[in-house]
């Protein structure tokens, strides 16, 4: 018999509030419902007026695509009414949205409603990324290090629509079955290969990468690695998760602190990478150990298989022979 995301969560013996696993499953239902609405729009792009820019600029200073706005509205619409939601943090909203300041035992959900916006109009895979923290009391700080996440995941809207998540007990993947209308278990405990044959980086920025990154990448080319870069973080991560290798968004001239956002891109994917046996670094240390200071802060992001990450650490310490 099929196993859906909701059933899987209820079976998970995770470190969630044992008495609130039902609440958590309801939270996941809000996310999966929103992503089904988003994928329905994506699948009809070109037939309905969902392509192109929304004519606005978001808090990131980036032009919002119509699908960015729709995806954000779908997540806010599906999550706000859930009784387990305390706060929502979105790439598309400058400030956090406080939904419920009452009793404890609630959750903070952080998300990138649509990742890879530049690829929407050319029919290349895009995604949604989410990260979930417990909020034990209304007065505790909103900004917590990534190791305090209780769950994280993404949906990649590709040749199929796949929901990947972890609640701290391993990584699981579910494929949207259009006949059932549910995400059905298709990857039971994903483990990232110990090493891979791909590296993934935007080579156009290579001249401004710090020297250690350039020597690391030169060494990978000498070792006959192949290059794959889609430009949608979720798609580049999904390939790295399944095939191994390494993804990098280093510091660049335009983004000396890195381009990717810590709270709703690096943290959730770092949690997944570690749960699948891989690693994720900001070039100096573990992504999950970073204490955030702002909800939209950026970070360099290097993540992938154990072997490639060990080599990266050696490059950064200057001990690549």
Query: Interface with ligand AHG by CB under 6 A: which range of 140-148, 158-166, 184-192, 225-233?
Result: 225-233
User: Cβ-closest residue to Mn ion?
Assistant: 115
Beta carbon nearer to Mn ion, 182 or 230: 230
- Contact between 231 and ligand AHG by CB under 6 A: the answer reads yes
Residue from 112, 152, 164 nearest 287 by CA: 152
Q: Among Mn ion, ligand AHG, none, what binds residue 66 when CB lies within 5 to 8 Å by partner kind?
A: none
| Least Cβ distance, residue 128 to Mn ion (angstroms) | 9
The two structure tokens encoding residue 184: 């059905």
Query: Interface with Mn ion by CB under 5 A: which range of 87-95, 173-181, 194-202, 204-212?
Result: 87-95
Among 259, 276, 279, 308, binds ligand AHG (CB under 6 A): 259
The two structure tokens encoding residue 62: 């980036």
Residue from 80, 60, 76, 73 nearest 265 by CA: 60
Beta carbon nearer to Mn ion, 9 or 126: 126
The two structure tokens encoding residue 160: 């199929």
Q: Among Mn ion, ligand AHG, none, what binds residue 290 when CB lies within 5 to 8 Å by partner kind?
A: none
| Least Cβ distance, residue 315 to ligand AHG (angstroms) | 21
- Contact between 236 and Mn ion by CB under 5 A: the answer reads no
Q: Is 102 exposed, middle or buried (0-12, 13-18, 19+ CB in 10 A)?
A: exposed
Length of the chain, in residues: 321
Site for Mn ion in 98-127 (CB under 5 A): 112, 114-115
Name the β-bridge partners of 130. Answer: 111, 153
Among 117, 125, 275, 281, binds ligand AHG (CB under 6 A): 117
- For β-strands 279-281 and 198-200, DSSP reports them as unpaired
Q: Among Mn ion, ligand AHG, none, what binds residue 131 when CB lies within 5 to 8 Å by partner kind?
A: none
Beta carbon nearer to Mn ion, 91 or 236: 91
| Least Cβ distance, residue 66 to ligand AHG (angstroms) | 13
| Least Cβ distance, residue 115 to ligand AHG (angstroms) | 4
Residue from 318, 226, 240 nearest 276 by CA: 240
Beta carbon nearer to Mn ion, 118 or 137: 118
Residue showing tokens 């889609």: 230
Q: What strand order describes the sheet that includes 301-304?
A: 226-227, 198-200, 246-249, 301-304, 279-281
The two structure tokens encoding residue 199: 């590296």
- Number of chain residues interacting with ligand AHG (CB under 6 A): 11
Name the β-bridge partners of 286. Answer: 281
Contact 134, 152 (CB under 8 A): no
- Contact between 299 and ligand AHG by CB under 6 A: the answer reads no
Query: Which are the contacts of 179, defined by CB distance < 8 A and separation ≥ 6?
Result: none
Q: Which residues bind ligand AHG (CB under 6 A)?
A: 62, 91, 112, 115-117, 202, 231-233, 259
Interface residues with Mn ion (CB under 5 A) are 91, 112, 114-115
């Amino acid at each position: 018999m099929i196993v859906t995301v909701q059933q899987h969560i209820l079976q998970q013996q995770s470190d969630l509030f044992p008495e609130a696993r039902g609440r958590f499953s309801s939270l996941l239902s809000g996310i999966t419902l929103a992503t089904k609405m988003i994928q329905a729009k994506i699948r009809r792009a070109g037939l309905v007026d969902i392509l192109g820019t929304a004519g606005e600029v978001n808090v990131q200073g980036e032009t919002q695509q119509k699908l960015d706005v729709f995806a954000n509205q779908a997540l806010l619409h599906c999550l706000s009414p859930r009784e387990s939601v305390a706060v929502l943090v979105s790439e598309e909203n400058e400030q956090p949205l406080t939904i419920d300041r009452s009793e404890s035992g609630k959750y903070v959900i952080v998300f990138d409603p649509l990742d890879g916006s530049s690829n929407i109009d050319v029919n290349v895979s895009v995604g949604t990324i989410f990260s979930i923290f417990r909020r034990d009391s209304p007065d505790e700080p909103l900004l917590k290090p990534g190791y305090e996440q209780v769950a994280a995941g993404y949906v990649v809207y590709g040749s199929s629509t796949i929901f990947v998540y972890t609640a701290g007990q391993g990584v699981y993947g579910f494929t949207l079955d259009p006949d059932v209308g549910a995400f059905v278990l298709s990857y039971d405990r994903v483990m990232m290969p110990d090493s891979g044959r791909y590296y993934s980086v935007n080579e156009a920025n290579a001249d401004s990468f710090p020297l250690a990154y350039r020597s690391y990448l030169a060494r990978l080319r000498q070792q006959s690695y192949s290059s794959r870069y889609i430009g949608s973080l979720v798609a580049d991560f999904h390939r790295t998760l399944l095939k191994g290798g390494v993804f990098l968004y280093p510091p660049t001239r335009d983004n000396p602190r890195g381009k990717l956002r810590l709270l709703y891109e690096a943290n959730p994917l770092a949690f997944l990478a570690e749960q699948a046996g891989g690693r994720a670094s900001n070039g100096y240390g573990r992504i999950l150990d970073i204490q955030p200071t702002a909800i939209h802060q950026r970070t360099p992001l290097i993540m992938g298989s154990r072997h490639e990450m060990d080599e990266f650490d050696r490059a950064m310490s200057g001990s690549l022979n």
